[in-house]
Structure formats: structure tokens, C-alpha cells
Amino acid sequence: MPDFDEFSFLPDQAADAGLPGPLPRGERLTLTLPDGRSLSALRYGDAPPEVTFLHGAGLNAHTWDTTIVALGRPALAIDLAGHGDSSWRDDATYAPRLLSPDVVAALAEWTDRPQVLVGQSLGGLTAAPVAASTPASVSRLMIVDITPGVDPDAGPTQVRAFFAGPTDWASRDELVDRALAFGLGGGSREKAARGVFLNSRVRTDGRVEWKHHFAHLAAAAANAAGEPATDDAVATLLSGAGWEDLAAVRAPITLIRADRGYVTEADAAEFAAHAPAARIVTLASSHNVQEDAPLALADEIVRLF
């Protein structure tokens, strides 16, 4: 619907987290990139952003809503290429080093000071080359539940199977039903419906599809292989940013490890070996820390200011 307010979910999200408010003002931003693609983002608050957020594969900028409300600081949350309201890439390649120039352009356009840069999963791997290539734009780097050496097999198999299924549905209710059947969606139909609404769109033929390209690529890979979603699709998305990107970062680094997420204790130890000055914090959470433990994550971000 043309008059739909995408920020209308904020009161319910704040209430779910026990946050009294006040709620920040939100607005949608769009930047036309040199190659003609559009990059979309959400800006929260009335002052210039102090912190910028990058989401994981298959998510979008709204995944940070509750964390941003809890943080209480002006913020920017970017839809990575192929996700949310940002354009899909014609080459269907979403390696972090290819995504990072878009983020650099966004920081130049929408911020006026060095940012605390927070990236989760694919966003965390993208944040490293951003911080390395533009040190003046990043004051602190927080990487959430990912490392360059993480094993894609460590991720929940139900997520990969979920995206291996159909890519369009007759209604959003069908998509919510599927999410709940796979144990996804935040534990309630209301939360699942909210997530589905913000991460899907209605096509001109009336069918509902995911906004993000990842689901379509994962389904195509699975159908070509004739088996449930392959880890190759995930590995491709998470490839392209290695330890060398992390080594080139000059800003102080924090790694947030979810105790039920992707980063094992061995992964964290390897991270510490490559970035001995980094601070490593373990939180009680699943991989999507910003949704599962937003208040605890916001508390750790506050420490960086």
C-alpha cells in the first residue's frame, strides 16, 4: 500500500523488548550509485548518524530496529546490495569485497563523522574491508557472530532448507506459516509476520516474494543440485573477505560471539590470534544477536563511545 509507514512496527518492537521510549524518527534514504544501481538505507534520529549498521545475508536494515531503539543514538542502517530496497547485482555476486564500495559511498553521502561500524554475519565481513579502505570514516569496528574462517556448515540447517523452497507464495500468510514450520520467525506469529512483511514484497501479478536476492540464488542452487540448499550458496556469499582485510583495519575491533551462533570457541581463538588487540565478548544468543539479544548488544555498542 502506497501510504504504508514502514516504521509503524517500532512501538510494538520497543514494547516487546520492554523499552519505554522515546522512539527515534525514522526515514528511508536512497542513493544512486555510479553504475546506476540504487542503495537504500534507514536513518534514525534527528542528528547526523554516529553508528552505522550492516545486516547479514537474507536480512535487511530493519533487523536492527530494536537494537537502535535500545541504543538511543542517531543511527544509519544500510540495505546491502541484493537486500531490502537496494538493487540486486546483475552478476548475482555478493562477496564482501564487492559490497564494501557501496557502503563506502553511503558513509560519504549520509554521515559527517567517523562511525562506529557494526556488521553482523555477511555485514561483519563487509565491514572489515570498509574499515580497512577508509580508516577516516570508521572510529570503531564491531563484528557480530562471524569470522573470516567460520565454517558455513556451522549454521542452522533449517535456515538453508527454508531458503531452498519456493521463492514466491500466494500470500504473506503462507510465508509466515512456512517460517513458523521451520522454527523461524522469533517465536510468535506476530513477530514472524512483522519480519515477513518487512522482508517481502507483492509483485505486479499479486504473488509475494522475498526482497533479497539470496533466497532466489539459494533456491536455484538447490534445484540445480536436486537436494536441499547447498552450503556452497552460503559460502559464496561469505567469501571474498579474509584475514588480510581484518589485519588492515586500524580502528579498535570488537568481536561479538553468540553462544548459540556460528562462531565456535575455536573460531574465536583464531580471531584472537589474527587480531590480538581485539576485544571478544560472548553473549547468550542465537546467530541473529540483534534480534535475539538486542538490549545486550546495545549495551556492548554503548561501550564503544
Q: pLDDT category, 242, cuts 50, 70, 90?
A: confident
Neighbours of 202 (CB within 10 A): 12
pLDDT in tens, 97-111: 999 999 999 999 999
Asked whether residue 173 is assigned to any structural domain, the reply reads no
User: Interior CA angle at 246 toward 274 and 146, to 5°?
Assistant: 85
pLDDT at 24: 96
What secondary structure letter does DSSP report for 167?
Answer: S
Question: Is the preceding peptide bond at 96 cis, omega within 30 degrees of 0?
Answer: no
Of the residues 65, 102, 287, 292, only one is catalytic, namely 287
Q: Choose, from 85, 145, 245, 292, the residue flagged as catalytic.
A: 145
Rounded distance between C-alpha atoms, residue 154 and residue 192, angstroms: 24
Domain contains 142: yes
CA 149 to chain CA centroid, nearest Å = 19
How do residues 156-194 score in pLDDT, each as one tens digit? Answer: 555 666 766 778 889 999 989 988 887 776 668 888 888
Examine residue 101 and state whether it is found in any structural domain, yes or no: yes
Considering the domain boundaries, does residue 124 fall inside one?
yes
Q: Give residue-wise pLDDT tens across range 16-75.
A: 999 987 899 999 999 999 999 999 999 999 999 999 999 999 899 999 999 999 999 999
Q: What is the pLDDT of residue 166?
A: 79
Within-domain flag for 250: yes
pLDDT of residue 158: 59
Q: From the candidates 121, 137, 139, 285, give the one annotated as an active-site residue.
A: 121
Contact (CB, 8 A) for 220 and 154? no
Tell me, yes or no, if 121 is annotated catalytic: yes
Active site residue 145: yes
Alpha helices, DSSP H, located in 17-87: 65-71
Q: Per the domain annotation, does 162 fall within a domain?
A: no
Which pLDDT score, from 0 to 100, does residue 230 have? 39
pTM above 0.85, yes or no: yes
3-state helix, strand, coil in the chain (%, to 5): 40, 20, 40
Amino acid at 109: E
Residue-number span of the structural domain to which 282 is assigned: 10-152+242-302
Residue 163 lies in a domain: no
The number of folded domains in the chain is 1
Q: Of 244 and 153, which is predicted with more confidence?
A: 244
CB-based burial label for 238 (10 Å; 0-12, 13-18, 19+): buried
Give the side-chain half-sphere CA count within 13 A for 255: 29
Task: Indicate if the pLDDT at residue 119 is higher than 50.
Answer: yes
Supply 129's cell numbers.
574491508
Read off the C-alpha cell for 287.
Answer: 546467530
287 or 223, which is more confident:
287
Side by side, the strands of the sheet bearing 208-210 are 168-169, 208-210, 200-202
Catalytic site includes residue 287: yes
> Is 172 a member of any domain?
no
pLDDT of 241 strictly over 60: no
CATH number, domain with residue 17? 3.40.50.1820
